[in-house]
Structures are given as C-alpha cells and as structure tokens.
Amino acid sequence: MGEVFAGRYELVDPIGRGGMGAVWRAWDQRRRRYVAAKVLQQGDAHTLLRFVREQALRIDHPNVLAPASWAADDDKVLFTMDLVGGGSLAHLIGDYGPLPPRFVCTLLDQLLAGLAAVHAEGVVHRDIKPANILLEATGTGRPHLRLSDFGISMRKGEPRLTETDYVVGTPGYFAPEQLLGAEPDFPADLFAVGLVALYLLQGARPDSRALVEHFRAHGTPGAPEGVPAPLWDVVANLLQPDPQSRFKTATGVRRALAEAVELLPADPPEAADVEVFDQLGPLPPGFGPQGPKSGAAGGGPDPRKAAGAAAAAGPAAAPSPPGGVPTAGAGAGEPTRTDPRAAAAAPAWTPAAQPAPAPAPAAAAPAHPGSSATGSFHLAPPAHPVPQPARPEPASAAAATALPGPAGRGRVAPPSKAAAAALLAAALLCFAVGVWALTQT
C-alpha cells in the first residue's frame, strides 16, 4: 500500500502541486475518509514559515478550503484539507470557454462570500486567481466553489516575510497599489476578483496592465462584447486603479452583484449544459471508495520521487480558450523570485493583440509578465515613489562603501617587493631606536 505518514495519513497518489510542495490524495486512517494532503519537504526557513501561517488558518465556511490538520514525519511536514474533485476555474474555462453571465454571477457570489469570511478574520489572501479557486464535482447541478491556497496570505498588521521592496503574488493579478509597495489590504483582493470575473466572462485572462492604463487615460470603458452592462458596472468598479474608488468590502460587492443579477437577461438554453467534471481520476490499484483494500499488495508511490518528478516536469499549462484579450500560461507554478523591472520597461500590450509566447528563460532571467507562478517579485522603482522611513546604515556597511573597491575578484592585492622591503626597514629602525632609548636610561 502507500506510505503511511505520521502513523495516520496513507499517501495514495499525487494530484497536483501547490506553492510549497506536492498535493496528494491521502487516506485518513483515523477519520476513515480521503483527504487532500499538501506535503512539504522541510527546506528553507521562509517556506516553513509560510507553511506555519497556512496551516494555522482556521476558517469554517462552505466556500473556503482551509487546512484541517497537520502532522510531521522525519524531514517532511504536511497539512490536510477536504478533497475537492472538480478542478479549478482554469479547468472549467478550458472545458467551456466563456461562461454564461448568470452562471458567472453564481460563481462570483460564492467567491465573494468566502472572501468576506476570510476578510472578517483580518486576513488578506494576496493570491486570488483561477487556479486557486476550486470546484466540487457537482456535474450539471448548482456549482460549489471553494477559495483555497493561503500560502502567502497574511493578517493585517503582521510582519512581512519578504523585504519591503518585494511584492508577493502572481503576475497579472497584482493590484496597481501593490506594485507601488503598499501594505497588503482588502481592496487588492477585490481587484483580483474583478480580473477573475472578466476571465470567466471572456474565457481568457485579461491584460491587467492594459486595463489599468486604459482606465487611467480614458476613464471607465464601455462594457466588453458579451458582458451585460449591469454586470459590467460591478466588475468595472472592482478594476478601478485607485483603491479608494473600489468597493470597500466583499459584502458590498455581493449586494451590488445581487442587484445586477435582477437586471440580467435569462441565460441561453445551452447554459444548462455547463458541467463540472470530476478531475481527480480513478483511484490507483489497491484502493477503493472505502479506503485501502484488505490484502492488497504493493508499496505505493514514493512521495519523494513523485515530488521530484513533478518539479522536473514543471507546471502543466492549461488549455488556452478562445477570447478577445491576450492570455498567458494559466498553470500555477512553483514560487519564483523575479525582478519585474524588465517587464515594466517593455512596451505596453494592446488589448486586441495576442502576445507572442515568451522564450524559455535562463536561470537568472526575469519571468515574463504573463507568468502565473506565485512568488515574490522585486518592485521596479515607481514613477511616484511611496515615502519610506529612513533607516540608518550599519557602520560596517558604511565603512565598506568608503573603501576603494579593488579590481578583480575583490581580494586586497599583496604589497610589491619594494614596498615590503621599505616596511621591513622602517620596522627595524623603530626597533633599534627603542633599544637605544632603553640603554640610555
């Protein structure tokens, strides 16, 4: 059978990857049910701190997928969550493309309900994107959405785990104020909800940079094709570049959305054909719906090998659905640390153009601005810098900068033979004067 973790969780098969490690389907021997287990190989302190923050989050809400328990075993730790089988919003768009407006409103209402519960705990999610919004496998019934992945969330007022000139999240879903170094706050999450809404309505990830530039230069644009005006009024408010011009709370957005739904036309008949499939696949040999089969042989998969293979393969790219806005890869990759100043210097994208695929970057190359990997990214110097309190420079650093920098690899060059001889002669002369002075007393 599979490897038993901490005497309780039997790892069955890998089902995905998160920002901090591999995600497994596991059998909880105590509760006698299948769960999702995020397994973290204990590595650097940063990753462990993020793990501690995520597993400590306890929010009981039907639209939130928060950790339920955790365990440690040798060099690995894990935490478990409910097993959600319907994939993410990225899977749904890959299957159907643009979704009917009323169906989108149902999804948005559930997302905002979960986000309101998160914000009520003082937590800013900081990574709202389609890949982190999961669905129960409800078939053609009413969809059931779960907001997940709190690996980079933080409570307001908590100390950051990154430097102040780094922004954490997923490129393409940053709020404009995040790129200026503002402290994490609820309006930034609501901006990302607006981008997710446009993604669901148009079937492709919108170009957030072009949208922000258009809003700033020309004001709020008219409703895009296929988006009803009442619904666009709500989405456009979420996408305002100035956080003071957006909705203040997720609950306020829900109220406005409910009013907009009353003005929407009925969805076309084919809207009833939207089905949320089970994306997990069958259980491997030796396991059944009620758990491991008695007498089944086999050692099960090794999570160390599977995690290594998944890391080598990299995140799988979700299919690119048709749409009239530029799109980028929709997979959720490993955390990266990138300098987006190269992206800021690039020419602005035009909303009607499809961006060319980015070449494979070298190890130290900055990520393409369309990257969907979650991580921390170095902030480019803003056009209007956010004032920061002055910090005294350490004396050692000041002394180091005052010295002339030697060429080459940074070592101090040895003195020449002539200089060494002169120093030796001066030392002998001082020694002789000292001896003569002692003999005169």
> Count of alpha carbons within 13 Å of 378, Cβ hemisphere only?
12
Average pLDDT rounded to a whole number, residues 410-430: 59
267 confidence band (pLDDT: 50, 70, 90):
confident
pLDDT at position 38 over 60:
yes
Q: At what angle do helices 229-238 and 250-262 cross, to 10 degrees?
A: 170
pLDDT at 42: 60
Is the pTM higher than 0.75? no
The answer to whether residues 48 and 97 belong to one domain is no
CA 156 vs. chain centroid, Å, equals 18
Phi, psi of 65 (to 5 degrees): -110, 90
Annotated catalytic residues are: 127
Domain of residue 24 covers 1-83
pLDDT at position 172 over 80:
yes
pLDDT at 268: 80
Helix ranges restricted to H, 182-228: 186-202, 208-218
Per-residue pLDDT tens over the stretch 274-294: 999 999 989 999 999 999 987
pLDDT at 308: 46
Instruction: Please tell me the distance from the alpha carbon of residue 183 to that of residue 166, in angstroms, as a whole number.
Output: 11
The answer to whether residues 241 and 156 belong to one domain is yes
Phi, psi of 378 (to 5 degrees): -70, 135
pLDDT at 398: 36
412 confidence band (pLDDT: 50, 70, 90):
very low
The answer to whether residues 113 and 13 belong to one domain is no
DSSP E strands, 90-193:
123-124, 133-135, 145-147, 154-155, 166-169
pLDDT at 342: 39
Identify which has the larger pLDDT, 398 or 190: 190
pLDDT at 136: 97
Residue 282 counted as domain residue = no
pLDDT at 154: 85
pLDDT at 110: 98
The answer to whether residues 77 and 115 belong to one domain is no
Average pLDDT rounded to a whole number, residues 117-132: 94
Mean pLDDT of the chain: 75
Identify which has the larger pLDDT, 46 or 291: 291
pLDDT at 165: 57
The answer to whether residues 239 and 164 belong to one domain is yes
pLDDT at 45: 60
Identify which has the larger pLDDT, 260 or 315: 260
Identify which has the larger pLDDT, 263 or 399: 263
The answer to whether residues 78 and 103 belong to one domain is no
pLDDT at 394: 42
pLDDT at position 205 over 60:
yes
pLDDT at position 316 over 90:
no
Identify which has the larger pLDDT, 381 or 89: 89
The answer to whether residues 22 and 142 belong to one domain is no
Phi, psi of 155 (to 5 degrees): -80, 145
Residue 97 counted as domain residue = yes
Question: Of 32, 66, 83, at which residue does a domain stop?
Answer: 83
Residue 175 counted as domain residue = yes
Annotation-wise, does 38 bind a ligand?
Answer: yes
pLDDT at 44: 57
pLDDT at 252: 97
Question: Of 53, 83, 113, at which residue does a domain stop?
Answer: 83
Q: How many domains does the chain have?
A: 2
Average pLDDT rounded to a whole number, residues 9-37: 90
CA distances to 29, 65, 158, 376, 394 from 163, in Å: 41, 28, 13, 9, 17
Residue 418 counted as domain residue = no
CA distances to 3, 15, 290, 307, 308 from 304, in Å: 11, 14, 26, 5, 6
pLDDT at position 359 over 80:
no
The answer to whether residues 22 and 72 belong to one domain is yes
Give, for 234, the enclosing helix (H) or strand (E). Answer: helix 229-238
Per-residue pLDDT tens over the stretch 175-197: 999 888 888 899 999 999 999 99
Instruction: Please tell me the distance from the alpha carbon of residue 326 to that of residue 335, in angstroms, as a whole number.
Output: 23
Identify which has the larger pLDDT, 399 or 257: 257
pLDDT at 88: 96
Q: What percent of the chain has pLDDT over 70?
A: 60
CA 311 vs. chain centroid, Å, equals 17
